[in-house]
Structure 1
Amino acid sequence: MHRSLFAAAVAVPALVAAQDGPSDSSTSTVVTTIVYSLIMAAVFFVAFLALRPRFDNIYQPRSYLSKPVSRNVPALDHTLFGWVREYLAQPDKEILRRNGLDAYMFISYLNMSLWIIVPIWIFSWIFLMPLYAANITSSSQGFNMFTIGYLINSSKRADQDRSAGILIVNYLFVAWILANVHWRMKEFIQLRQEFITSPSYRDTVQAKTMLVTGVPNEYLSETKLTQIYGQMPGGVEKVWVNRNLRDLPDLVEQRDKLVLKLEGAVTKLIKTAHKLVQKGKVDGAPADGAMSGDVAARYVPEKKRPTMRLGKVPCIGEKVDTINYCRAEIQRLNGEIAAQRERAMTDYEAYPPQSSAFILFREQLGAQLAARTEASHEPYRMADRYTEAHPKDVIWSNLNMNPYEKKIRTVLFWVVTWLTVVFWFVPVAVVSVFSQVDYLSSKVKFLSWIEKIPNVPLGIIKGVLPVAALAVLNMLLPIWLRFLAKQSGIPTRNGVELSLMVRFSIFQLLQNFLVLAVMQAAMNNVNDFANTLTPEPDISAFVAQISAAVPRANTFFLQWVFVAGVGAAPGLFLQIVPLIMYYVKMKLLGSTPRTVWNLKNGLGAPAWGQLFPATLLIMIIVFGYMLLAPIVNGFAAVAMCLLYLAYRYLFLYVYDCKPENETAGLFFPTAINFTFAGLYLGTLLVATMYLFNVGANTSYIAFGVLTVLLLVLIMAYHYFLVNSYGPLLQSVPLDLTMRYGQDAASAPHAAEQVSPLLPEKDAYYVNGPSAVQPMPPASHVLQMEDAHQVAVRARAEQDARLSAFYNPARTSKQLVLWYPDDANGIGRSQVALDQQAGYAATTEHAGLNEKGKVVEDAHVPPGQEV
């Protein structure tokens, strides 16, 4: 979302004239932002309508590129507006079936947000806004007259008495919010339990495997761990003890890089020969059917062959022929890798076991109970246990930390995270200053030159620069926070994303909302604050001014929310950055059949640790200002509606959430927790509005106390929610396990009776007998395959099952070298040379077109599983 938000922010100039004070310019600033946002949104959406029928690979790749094909969605109509009805007719639950529970729960969170915000918007605009502006005779204050400050700070007793209505509305709003959260949390728990106990999931290796870290040396053997965990229901089927493979992972990584480099060099050689033949500089000749030797010498002079320099420093080192060097090095590395792998099978001294293991149970219940049972009487030993591990989700380098090192690293990098929160205040403060430069120029002498800036550039500085700068900061920050999470020792990528979500959401709450609100309030009232503190401090007047200043700081957030919705949503539909990057990469990076295939067939996926916090910020702003400045509610409702429609489209037709990234919805409860944090902050702000003005009306003490009581009630409900539903997040209830077990035992077609949410996931997850595709009925199998073929396939599937959690450095195969076939026979001659070197290569399903561009028509790259 940050990419689209940045693009929208840059494209939406809020052209406003400098005014005498920020309150006077609030309306013009917001209105111009709205106008230009609408203009750019219209441009983006018209471009989307025009481009959508022409680029299926950008706008509906999931209609034909999903793996397996059963996850494809029906293609949309290619007419200008015919697709709209088909898109809206798709239910949200289709996202659950096609793209998993994480994707569905994100859309569910957006839907819940709409259910919360829209009624609040309607009620607050009908009741609160007239309440706030009832006795204001002048409209010169713009949008700021619809803030709580004008009512609470009023000197008229009648106005003060009407402020009791705010308290009543606050209770009603909170009750509505909590009711919606309760309904969605209940739905989520039910869906998660159905998901992890569905027939298509509960029998997979992923569902039955537990990762345990911090294993003491005396237990680091398959026999010992089998004895310990064999007491669980069903017992243990397989144990993988993680080993110290020394430099083996580096050798495999180096080999894989050389394979890709060799593919690129050979393809470049083929294209060079093609170009020379086309230009008539060399004679083209029909290629022989069988190639012997390097026929490229007939077409490409030695000086035009691809070369590279050895050494880590670019442009320094020995210059060598890329193809000859890579081929020799791959051959050497393959020999080294094979020798080390064979040695690692028996030499436990050279490749000792390390402090982690994967344990495959015969029953899902065994894995669930083992994860919740203490296995060691010593502290921190075998304490960290993770269920539902996927081989592609594992961060292998983080598996070897001893428990004390991991604890220290966790504390250390959380300290660094909080230090980052503190020091990030500086760039965020600068962003806030830019939005009020015209006001500051009239108050601070050395900034008086700003008043000479023309209106249009000044409007861009005020309206665009703060939003764009904040978007850039939000794009850079997750990279750093993800690094901190990974360095904490979290052993899975999903765990890192969950940790990133927590860290980034803290930033959204504290920096992008609270700090910005305070800074905006300070900038709006710096002169008034100075007058109340000098020459003699007037504390009561100072706090009263604070209570009036914070609600009036809503202008920036109005712009942010509108740009985030109206500006970003059409950009999400348009996918302008992926569209441009696709063709740029095809031009610059489409140099081999493999890169061309990856570019054509690769599907995007969200980074949950970034996406959820971006949405949470809108909800935090709503809860902070739904009573202080209710005009925000309407803007947020429009923004959330557009984001819901945009992301719903992306998760149906564009994004592909891989099973290795599936947490069965665990990001949703984290989002709910931060939703409560935003609600805490909003309620606390309302309480301060009352308590900071007790000098004007003593009844505000009671209003403030009742608002604090409301805060306590919210916290109590939050505790109840966590206490009641929290244990169900990580467990498979025994009653569900028994029920599904009885169904499976009593009914031959139980899988059909208990309809799985994702019926094709058995073809997509790491699985046992059905690892590749669902098996057809036995009678048809016998017709299609003889007994030998069935046995071979069953053996291959069993081998894959029992090697699922070996370190990839021990099991990964070298990629099949894939070159384009060409009329000059160079590709086929290079294949022959590779085969002489002892590894596989091919030119199947790849070639050059008349313009010398690489083309391919493979379902998957040769020898590669997708």
Structure 2
Amino acid sequence: MKQAAYLLFLSVASAVPAMAQSETQGKNTSTSAVISAIVLALILSGIFLTAFLILRPRLPAVYQPKTYRAKPAWRNTEPLPNSMFGWISPYLRNPDREILRINGLDAYSFVLYIQLMVRIFVPIWLLSWVVLMPLFSAGMPHGEGFDMFTFENVINVPSKTQQLRSAGVMILHYILVAWVIYNIHAIMMKFMELRKEFLTSQEHRNTNQAKTFLVTGVPNEMLSETRMKGVYADIPDGVKKVWINRDLKELPKLVEERDKNLNKLEGAVAKLIKTAAKNVKKGKVEAVALSENQEPSLEVAEHYVPANKRPTHRLGKIPCMGEKVDTISYCREEVTRLNKEIAQKREVILDDYENYPPQSSAFVLCNSMLGAYTGSDGKIHPEPHKLAKRYREVHPDDIVWTNMNMNPYERKIRTIGFWTLTVLTIIFWIIPIALVSLFSNVDYLQQNVSFLHWISSLQVASGIPIGVIKAVLPTAALAILNSLLPPWLRWHAKQSGVPTRTGIELSLQDRFFPFQVVQNFIFLTIMGGIQQQEQQFQDAIHEPEKFVATISQAIPAASTFFLEFVFLIGLSGVAAMFLQLVPLIVYYVKIKFLASTPRKLWHLRNDMGAPPFGQLYPATMLVTVLGFGYMILAPIMNGFASVTFFTLYLAYRYLFLYVFDCKPVSETAGLFFKKAINHTFVGLYVSLVVAALMYLFNSGSNKNFIAFGVLTFVLFGLVVAYQVYLGMLWKRSMDEIPALLSQHAPMQQAVTDAPNAPPSLPEKDAYYADAQGGPMVPQKSAAPAHVLQVEDPQVTKEKEEMEEIKTMNAFYHPSRTSTQQIMWYPNDNFGIGRSQVLADQKAGYEATTSHAFLNEKYKIDEDANAPPGEDL
């Protein structure tokens, strides 16, 4: 999983606060702990970057696949020079806008978000260090090292004169929040225009994806193409095609079983050929020359591989149990049987609407994007939950078909249930996090837990510094815990009934971000405060006001925990992203051990990863929350955050330009960015609430603090009001899209008859059509559009016909339309691969050895542009 590998370091680094808790047991050690972390980060980043500079020109498959692998080729970017340092200047000159061209708006908007953070934090860094650091430290009696520069130094001193410095803090708080809001407003104005430009561009608005929407909660009386076309008869430019989803019963499982047998058959044939080559290489059998023109016998493999050495497997679901069968013979027979059964089922399904009834959802393809936007916006049905939930910009490859046939009430119940489970997960994840945090405090445990006294002798016996022991154990444990969350939360989203994969990722973003804030920021901060001020928390546990005051005071003191975390991300984390050590190892391990067939080898060599934005944004935004949360409370964080976001910008910019390949099928046109902007306000709210509580709960020593706390809450209210206003601006701006689309003449696709091509599947309009007694009105075909001929007219016509058929079958369930893959075997000098091709052709389906072969080392290899029959 290349697309997730670079997130591993973020997961590991999220354990750093736990490590820091043990390293900073007293304030007098905070500076040395942070400096030690900086030195470690510099050393690691130096090693990683040196390795990257050496390996980059030698391994283009890892470090710049986006320069030659993308399909279509126009989505590639210009390759970089191969010299060790000569690539830097062309990389920096390559504009960010290139990301938009080659990877889409989601990728570009993520880099735009990192840019926004750089633009925000650099001025905050300079201003806060010039104003706040002298204000917190000059002539103050408390604090040493970095602890001199925290907000508690001016709020917890007995001197009224020194406490007055907090007025300057409040004024600067207003200024910095205003700066943040100004930049958010500016970037959102730019982004909203960019999104409208992207969506209404000719390249996008003329795609079928832009012209299609999904509607759920369709009542039975509307479950026919004619009825649904009647519902949307008044939308601009009309409806081209409607697909009614149906309950296909056992058909999807039959197709899935057939495909599993096909893959197993390819693997078994490849294994048979490799076994034959191994026997020849070891001299166990003599090779018999067979020219390319000779037709091999179907039994040719018997000469090279004994019957007891052929690939076999056991039937049954329990491993190592069940009947043992010859894999090649069994799978070929099963594929033949399943093909016949699938063909029979498909034939029956065409007209059997009683046993395979329509379900409660439909896809609507309009003749224009304006029609799709208009149709998906309007309220159609007066009853709740009927035709109520609609999804724009849907693509067949993005659909989660198992979620298509849920009725709206089931989907609602599932949504509530799994969001409840998500909240419970966030709450109860405190338990394992707390255990990890306890083990980070090894010094406390070895002194106070009798059976752990042996830890103190471990350093002497092993020679390993106790600090390393304290770092490794909690870091590894917390990294494992954090890595379990995204798949678990993604499963919650899927089980909620979300019908698209992009919708699942958007839901994951909403679920994973609260976890990052609650667990990796708030809870770890409180745990750190308890470990540093255990007696104070024990004294305050029964007094809510005192307990809140103690927590608010612990947050600034906990800043050193997160300084190490942020700096580690900004230096060694970013260097590791450039190096891509995990993807590098995974790539070559897979090539060596998992490339068992030509098809698998091709995909390992040519498939590029893309980041899961639902996981990427929350992992990155933890730095945003930390930066804003400590913007006033511990201003030294601002410098660390500035450096981190700048280096993250350089790293992600490189990855999106030269490594990642974000497919148009998963494009949301920046919806992840919009959610990220809303989540960004959480950091501001944390900063304001903590500052206000610190004022109010220390008002006993200075009554002016009450006014400061109230004014801070006023600022909180102003930020909330702006966020609401920004939401209104967003809605107003997006509502302008139909007006922009209406300015463009619709580009109709050519509708042609295709007598020589496979026909598109029909739908039974009569089913449920006259439930309300309404007439069935035949739909007129759109006039063919003029097509500029740039190649042979016959070739152009055939392409148009095939594209039209593909369009008209696009949103039928894949089990109804998918064709069997062309079997792909290695060609070998023994004739085994060609003999298996003949066996497949005799069984009634296609197979080939084209562009697949055994190389001079008797290893499976390929030189194909694409696997046979795969539409890339």
Q: TM exceeds 0.5? A: yes
CA distance in 2, matches of 1:12, 1:44: 23
Alignment-derived partner of residue 164 in structure 2:
161
SS in 2 for 1:179: helix
Query: Residue 505 of structure 1 aligns to which amino acid in structure 2?
Result: F
> What's the offset of the Cα at 1:453?
5.3
SS in 2 for 1:860: coil
Alignment-derived partner of residue 755 in structure 1:
none
Give a deviation string over 1:246-271, Cα, whole Å, max 9, x none.
11111111111111111110011111
Out of 28, 34, 57, the position equivalent to 2:32 is 28
Query: Residue 852 of structure 1 aligns to which amino acid in structure 2?
Result: Y
> What's the offset of the Cα at 1:735?
3.0
CA distance in 1, matches of 2:827, 2:82: 35
Q: Tell me, yes or no, if the aligned pair for 2:17 and 2:561 is still in contact at 8 Å.
A: no
Pick closer, same or farther for the CA change 1:16–1:179 going to 2, 3 Å: closer
Alignment-derived partner of residue 130 in structure 2:
126
CA distance in 2, matches of 1:391, 1:797: 14
Out of 352, 355, 364, the position equivalent to 1:359 is 364
**Equivalences for 1:376-391 in 2 at 5 Å?**
376-391=381-396
Alignment-derived partner of residue 280 in structure 2:
277
> What's the offset of the Cα at 1:33?
1.3
Alignment-derived partner of residue 262 in structure 1:
265
> What's the offset of the Cα at 1:487?
0.2
Q: Which sits farther off after the overlay, 481-490 or 184-193?
A: 184-193
> What's the offset of the Cα at 1:457?
3.9
CA distance in 1, matches of 2:13, 2:538: 37
SS in 2 for 1:741: coil
**Equivalences for 1:63-102 in 2 at 5 Å?**
63-102=67-106
Pick closer, same or farther for the CA change 1:625–1:439 going to 2, 3 Å: farther
CA distance in 2, matches of 1:727, 1:304: 69
Alignment-derived partner of residue 744 in structure 2:
740
Alignment-derived partner of residue 477 in structure 1:
485
SS in 1 for 2:361: strand
1:428 aligns with 2:433: yes
CA distance in 1, matches of 2:787, 2:8: 45
1:194 aligns with 2:212: no
Pick closer, same or farther for the CA change 1:227–1:14 going to 2, 3 Å: closer
SS in 2 for 1:411: helix
> What's the offset of the Cα at 1:227?
0.7
> What's the offset of the Cα at 1:375?
1.7
Query: Residue 47 of structure 1 aligns to which amino acid in structure 2?
Result: A
SS in 2 for 1:521: helix
CA distance in 1, matches of 2:861, 2:459: 53
Alignment-derived partner of residue 871 in structure 2:
865
Pick closer, same or farther for the CA change 1:645–1:775 going to 2, 3 Å: farther
Q: Which sits farther off after the overlay, 589-598 or 441-450?
A: 441-450
Alignment-derived partner of residue 296 in structure 1:
301
> What's the offset of the Cα at 1:539?
7.8
1:326 aligns with 2:331: yes
> What's the offset of the Cα at 1:439?
5.0
Q: Tell me, yes or no, if the aligned pair for 1:15 and 1:29 is still in contact at 8 Å.
A: yes
1:853 aligns with 2:856: no
SS in 1 for 2:829: coil
Pick closer, same or farther for the CA change 1:539–1:474 going to 2, 3 Å: closer
CA distance in 1, matches of 2:183, 2:156: 33
> What's the offset of the Cα at 1:793?
2.1
Out of 490, 498, 520, the position equivalent to 2:506 is 498
Pick closer, same or farther for the CA change 1:437–1:125 going to 2, 3 Å: farther
CA distance in 2, matches of 1:529, 1:244: 59
> What's the offset of the Cα at 1:514?
1.3
Consecutive unaligned residues in structure 2, runs of 5 or more: 1-5, 749-780
1:841 aligns with 2:847: yes
> What's the offset of the Cα at 1:448?
6.2
CA distance in 2, matches of 1:530, 1:274: 73
CA distance in 1, matches of 2:852, 2:266: 12
1:346 aligns with 2:351: yes
* TM-score calculated relative to the size of structure 1: 0.92
Q: Tell me, yes or no, if the aligned pair for 2:290 and 2:831 is still in contact at 8 Å.
A: yes
Out of 183, 187, 190, the position equivalent to 1:184 is 187
CA distance in 1, matches of 2:15, 2:684: 31
Pick closer, same or farther for the CA change 1:13–1:637 going to 2, 3 Å: same
SS in 2 for 1:578: helix
Q: Tell me, yes or no, if the aligned pair for 2:20 and 2:560 is still in contact at 8 Å.
A: no
CA distance in 2, matches of 1:648, 1:690: 41
> What's the offset of the Cα at 1:568?
1.2
Pick closer, same or farther for the CA change 1:162–1:59 going to 2, 3 Å: same
Alignment-derived partner of residue 111 in structure 1:
115
Q: Which sits farther off after the overlay, 343-352 or 101-110?
A: 343-352
> What's the offset of the Cα at 1:230?
1.5
Q: Tell me, yes or no, if the aligned pair for 1:234 and 1:361 is still in contact at 8 Å.
A: yes
Alignment-derived partner of residue 660 in structure 1:
665
Give a deviation string over 1:34-83, Cα, whole Å, max 9, x none.
11111111111111111101100000000000000011111111111000
Q: Tell me, yes or no, if the aligned pair for 1:121 and 1:634 is still in contact at 8 Å.
A: yes
Q: Which sits farther off after the overlay, 254-263 or 791-800?
A: 791-800
SS in 1 for 2:209: helix
Alignment-derived partner of residue 305 in structure 1:
310
Q: Which sits farther off after the overlay, 835-844 or 333-342?
A: 333-342
Pick closer, same or farther for the CA change 1:540–1:245 going to 2, 3 Å: closer
Alignment-derived partner of residue 814 in structure 2:
808
Q: Tell me, yes or no, if the aligned pair for 1:213 and 1:356 is still in contact at 8 Å.
A: yes
CA distance in 2, matches of 1:560, 1:686: 22
Q: Which sits farther off after the overlay, 831-840 or 156-165?
A: 156-165
Pick closer, same or farther for the CA change 1:94–1:208 going to 2, 3 Å: same
Query: Residue 849 of structure 1 aligns to which amino acid in structure 2?
Result: N
Give a deviation string over 1:196-223, Cα, whole Å, max 9, x none.
1100110111011110111111110111
Q: Tell me, yes or no, if the aligned pair for 1:232 and 1:370 is still in contact at 8 Å.
A: yes
**Equivalences for 1:456-467 in 2 at 5 Å?**
456-467=464-475
Alignment-derived partner of residue 719 in structure 1:
724
**Equivalences for 1:239-638 in 2 at 5 Å?**
239-288=242-291, 289-438=294-443, 454=459, 456-531=464-539, 545-638=550-643
SS in 2 for 1:113: helix
Query: Residue 308 of structure 1 aligns to which amino acid in structure 2?
Result: H
CA distance in 2, matches of 1:701, 1:11: 36
Query: Residue 821 of structure 1 aligns to which amino acid in structure 2?
Result: N
Q: Tell me, yes or no, if the aligned pair for 1:443 and 1:527 is still in contact at 8 Å.
A: no
CA distance in 1, matches of 2:131, 2:474: 32
Pick closer, same or farther for the CA change 1:448–1:830 going to 2, 3 Å: closer
SS in 2 for 1:25: helix
1:136 aligns with 2:144: no
Give a deviation string over 1:707-756, Cα, whole Å, max 9, x none.
00000000000010011213544x552331233339x89xxxxxxxxxxx
Query: Residue 96 of structure 2 aligns to which amino acid in structure 1?
Result: D
Q: Tell me, yes or no, if the aligned pair for 2:267 and 2:597 is still in contact at 8 Å.
A: yes
1:820 aligns with 2:823: no
Q: Tell me, yes or no, if the aligned pair for 1:13 and 1:36 is still in contact at 8 Å.
A: no
Q: What RMSD, in angstroms, separates the aligned Cα atoms of the two structures? A: 2.4
**Equivalences for 1:617-696 in 2 at 5 Å?**
617-696=622-701
Q: Tell me, yes or no, if the aligned pair for 2:566 and 2:623 is still in contact at 8 Å.
A: yes
Pick closer, same or farther for the CA change 1:117–1:435 going to 2, 3 Å: farther
* TM-score calculated relative to the size of structure 2: 0.91
CA distance in 1, matches of 2:693, 2:713: 9
CA distance in 1, matches of 2:687, 2:17: 29
Pick closer, same or farther for the CA change 1:549–1:9 going to 2, 3 Å: closer
Q: Which sits farther off after the overlay, 79-88 or 339-348?
A: 339-348
Query: Residue 481 of structure 1 aligns to which amino acid in structure 2?
Result: L
CA distance in 2, matches of 1:538, 1:485: 40
CA distance in 2, matches of 1:8, 1:735: 47
Pick closer, same or farther for the CA change 1:726–1:441 going to 2, 3 Å: farther
Pick closer, same or farther for the CA change 1:440–1:651 going to 2, 3 Å: same
Query: Residue 676 of structure 2 aligns to which amino acid in structure 1?
Result: A
CA distance in 2, matches of 1:17, 1:228: 65
> What's the offset of the Cα at 1:458?
2.5
Q: Tell me, yes or no, if the aligned pair for 1:12 and 1:567 is still in contact at 8 Å.
A: no
Q: Tell me, yes or no, if the aligned pair for 2:426 and 2:519 is still in contact at 8 Å.
A: yes
